[in-house]
């Protein structure tokens, strides 16, 4: 009898353990399914803090109405957002124009593509130790961004301001450096500096040509604070885009992101917030 009771108890314990294991397995499957659903409905986008992350955040409610959660990851440089996208850490990024994207792909054998055209940020020449273009002295120092596409942009603006002349054939899609200057009547000292450092350089240089997003982060508005802004015809060349990996541009996430970002709500936010320093292109 004792042996039978022991056997029955052992069997009961086994059934209990199996039931418990089975229950845990079902719970785990449910949890995994929930996590999978959450991932499918979460869009992760890397962005520069200003204006890109701010614009993305303005689209959060619109995306929520469509059933998506938007996660914005902020980057303070121009390299890691593309690297993170290539490595699959992001669904998309928002910080760059097409010439910069093309240059990244060329230098890194990348396959990133522009998925959504969003806005244009006019480049400006900002006063440092020198207050006006007319006061620029012989040997004055001018800071420009040191990455290929943006240095081209800065040099073209200096040429438009009458301070230098570039060799023939330099256009907005070129990769120019100060070595392409053929006339420099005031012997200007052109200093190539990382774009994110340009606003801080103003106290040490006579003038600086600053990217729109970094100007905004330093409370500078190209329309209000710069001495001259670039040719508005460059808007389509330097339009800022949402970039993604090749093949993802038609995905449900990117299409939902496009619809939200190009909504009237976001366009109104851009117009009211940046007052001409950021111009929607859609």
Query: 231, 249, 265 — which closes off a domain?
Result: 231
Whether pLDDT at 13 is above 90: no
Q: What is the pLDDT of residue 34?
A: 55
Same domain as 248, residue 166: no
pLDDT tens digits along 26-77: 344 444 555 567 778 999 999 999 999 999 999 999 999 999 999 999 999 9
Q: Taking residues 190-218, report their average pLDDT.
A: 96
Last residue of a domain, which of 198, 213, 231? 231
State yes or no: pLDDT of 149 exceeds 80. Answer: yes
- 1 inside domain: no
Start-to-end C-alpha separation, the chain: 85
Nearest to 256 by CA among 8, 3, 83, 41: 41
Query: Is there a domain that residue 73 lies in?
Result: yes
Domain shared by 186 and 272, yes or no:
no
- Output the pLDDT for position 40: 81
Give a yes or no: residue 271 inside a domain.
yes
Compare 198 and 22 and report the one with higher pLDDT.
198
CA distances from 173 to 78, 148, 187, 222 (A): 18, 10, 26, 22
Strands laid side by side in the 189-193 sheet = 189-193, 141-145, 207-210, 124-127, 228-229
Asked if 133 and 223 sit in the same domain, the reply is: yes
83-124, pLDDT tens digit by residue?
A: 999 999 999 999 999 999 999 999 999 999 999 999 999 999
The pTM (predicted TM-score) of the whole model is: 0.81
Task: Out of 15-29, 38-52, 67-81, 181-195, pick the least confident.
Answer: 15-29
What are the tokens at 32? 């995994």
Q: What is the pLDDT of residues 163-172, one digit of tens each?
A: 999 999 998 8
140 and 225 belong to one structural domain: yes
Domain count, the chain: 2
Give domain status of residue 5, yes or no: no
Question: Residue 191: is its pLDDT beyond 80?
Answer: yes
Q: Which domain holds residue 99?
A: 39-121+238-280
- What percent of the chain has pLDDT above 90? 81
Q: Kindly state whether residue 34 falls inside one of the protein's structural domains.
A: no
Evaluate whether residue 14 is within a structural domain. no
**Is 34 or 154 the better-scoring residue by pLDDT?**
154
> Is residue 104, in this structure, part of any structural domain at all?
yes
pLDDT at 124: 97
Distances (CA, A) of 123 to 11, 72, 136, 251: 78, 25, 19, 33
Question: Do the domain assignments include residue 16?
Answer: no
Considering 194, 215, 231, which residue would you say is the last residue of a domain?
231
Sequence-distant (6+) residues with CB within 8 A of 184 are 164, 165
Percentage of residues in the chain with pLDDT exceeding 70?
A: 87
Q: Check whether 5 has a pLDDT greater than 60.
A: no
Each residue of 214-270: pLDDT tens digit?
Answer: 999 999 999 999 999 998 888 989 999 999 999 999 999 999 999 999 999 999 999
Can you give the CATH number for the domain in which 201 is found?
3.40.190.10
């Amino acid at each position: 009898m004792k042996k039978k009771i022991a056997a029955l108890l052992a069997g009961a314990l086994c059934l209990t353990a199996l039931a418990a294991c089975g229950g845990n397995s079902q719970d785990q499957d449910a949890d995994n399914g929930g996590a999978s659903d959450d991932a499918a409905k979460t869009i992760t986008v890397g962005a520069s803090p200003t204006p890109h992350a701010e614009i993305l955040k303005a689209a959060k409610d619109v995306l929520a109405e469509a059933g998506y959660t938007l996660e914005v990851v902020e980057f303070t440089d121009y390299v890691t957002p593309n690297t993170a996208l290539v490595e699959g850490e992001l669904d998309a990024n928002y910080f760059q124009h097409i010439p910069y994207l093309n240059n990244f792909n060329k230098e890194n054998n990348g396959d990133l593509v522009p998925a959504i055209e969003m806005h244009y940020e006019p480049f400006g020449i900002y006063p440092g130790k020198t207050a006006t273009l007319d006061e620029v002295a012989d040997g004055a120092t001018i800071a420009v961004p040191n990455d290929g596409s943006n240095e081209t942009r800065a040099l073209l603006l200096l040429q438009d301001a009458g301070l230098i002349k570039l060799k023939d054939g330099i256009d907005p899609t070129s990769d120019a450096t100060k070595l392409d200057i053929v006339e420099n009547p005031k012997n200007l000292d052109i200093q190539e500096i990382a774009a994110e450092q340009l606003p801080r350089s103003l106290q040490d240089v006579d003038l600086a040509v600053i990217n729109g997003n970094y100007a905004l982060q330093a409370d500078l508005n190209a329309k209000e604070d710069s001495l001259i802004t670039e040719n508005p015809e460059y808007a389509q060349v330097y339009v800022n885009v949402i970039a993604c990996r090749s093949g993802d541009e038609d995905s449900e996430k990117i299409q939902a992101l496009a619809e939200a970002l190009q909504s009237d709500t976001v366009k109104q936010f851009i117009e009211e917030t940046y007052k001409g320093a950021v111009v929607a292109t859609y």
